[in-house]
Amino acid sequence: MTTQETAEKFVQHLQAGKFMDAIDDFYADDIVSHEMPGVPNERTEGKAAVRNKSAEWEASVQSINSAEVSDPQVAGNFFSISLKMDVTFKERGQMQIEEIALYEVKNGKIVSDRFFYSMDM
């Protein structure tokens, strides 16, 4: 699968709200995931650990009020997307999140991701 094909199918999963399926179907077993510096789970290695990180985030959410995922922009083995979410967290209340995610693809699997975001508290 090409980077373009991987990106398009991955984004289709996200746009359908199938976040865990996206991890299961498209992340490499040895994925390295990078959050913003200084936040919990700044660097997470391995698909199982990334899945756990995502499950912890989902458990902290009371409701996702709206979410928009852009179409992917592909360059070589990389693609990026933007995400906009209105989320109500159990502990922190409602927040607006705008994020750019950058993914690296090898052999049809995502081997690295990096997230850049701002949150309106």
Please report, for the chain, the start and end positions of each structural domain, with discontinuous segments joined by +.
3-120
| Predicted pLDDT of residue 120 | 58
Direct distance between the N- and C-terminal alpha carbons of the chain, in angstroms, rounded to an integer: 40
pLDDT mean by block of 10 residues, the chain; 121 residues: 97 94 97 90 95 93 95 98 95 93 98 87 47
Q: Residue 1: how many CB atoms within 10 A of its CB?
A: 13
Query: Which residue type occupies 99?
Result: E
The pair of structure tokens assigned to 63 is 């409701």
| Predicted pLDDT of residue 87 | 94
Fold annotation for 3-120: Nuclear Transport Factor 2; Chain: A, (3.10.450)
| Predicted pLDDT of residue 119 | 62
